[in-house]
Chains A and B, each alone.
Chain A
Amino acid sequence: MKIIVCAKQVLDPETPSSIFKIDRDAKRAVPPPGADPVVNGFDEIAMEAALRIKASVGGSITVVSMGRSFVMDVIKKPLAMGADELILLQDDAFETADSFVTTNVLAAAIRRIGKFDLILCGRQASDWDNAQVPLGLAELLDLPCLTFAKNVELSNGSVRVQRVTPDGHEVLEAVLPALVTVSNELGEPRTPSIKGIMASTRATPTVWGLGDLGVDPSSCARVELVELFIPAREKRCEMIEGEDDTDAGRKLALKLREAKLI
């Protein structure tokens, strides 16, 4: 079983909004000083799904990541978790890539990898929140696409997922090769073992540039970023105080009554 996991390096989404900064001229987020990026949370979950499949039916896991530059300790985390191979698609031109460029580059890389049975992606990347690349990959690579999986199982040449829906879930099936996106309901990604971390530090990722992939970013781009800004929050909060917490709770009720909210 050959599994490809698409994983993106992103600004830590837990960055508190008080220190989240934008460079309006460059139209990009400025990482807080000293803060490392992370592997997109949903992609770690995709990695977890891949490892569970590998444990049950065997096979290999190749991680593909596209970006302008990488922090090695960060992007090697999937290797530390147990991936067999890491391919970095790296080029200065990827700095401003939109989802259409990203998808075309990833598709080219996946074609270059050649044979595979399953592609696993996160449901969305927590920087631009597009939730678009996996659907685009399914189109470009002509694959069945199963989204929002909380469980992924392979058997007899097909994949079966439990897909999270707003009021429950559905069980979907498709013939391999296929693409699956995972959601947080799948469960926490495992923590790398010391042994895994040691092995990952020794591993050297394969690096492919634009020249290896034969994609022209400018002809794939479809979205122009006109402006990026932090919205003003103008709400002011009225703090309800009391002699103690119990009193404050009671006063809150009275306040809401006064405001005709209850």
Chain B
Amino acid sequence: MNKAFILLPALIAAALPGFGALGGSVESVATDQVTLHAKRAVTQNREYTVHQISSGDGTLIREYVTPAGTVFGVSWSGPTIPDLSQLLGTYHAEFQNAMRAKPGRRKSGVVHNADLVVESGGHMRAFYGRAYVTSMLPAGVTPETVK
């Protein structure tokens, strides 16, 4: 990992248009930060940038951004599940449809579609998960990067 590490103060501002992160532009990351009342740290790597958003309740969100500014992956951990309609953006509907297609109650929160992967796990007090769009992974970046 290259180590350009920048800490930005928490933004307190009127919410920007509420479009989601995955598959969206890097500007949507700022939207997430505002909505989550959180602090942001940016780590620059050769093939991608990681925006890490942490809030006071222990929620940690990472958004993985291509050099062209597209969010190709997101991950989360914390005491509750963050708003996935916001984090998954335009991919949220595909995730919801895939979950509806699975039978039962309290099933696994895992969706592996042709291009979209979402893995939601854990329980009360300790949730975690990640999502990425396979076709958006920058050259040389594997799915294991998103964690």
| A and B pair up | no
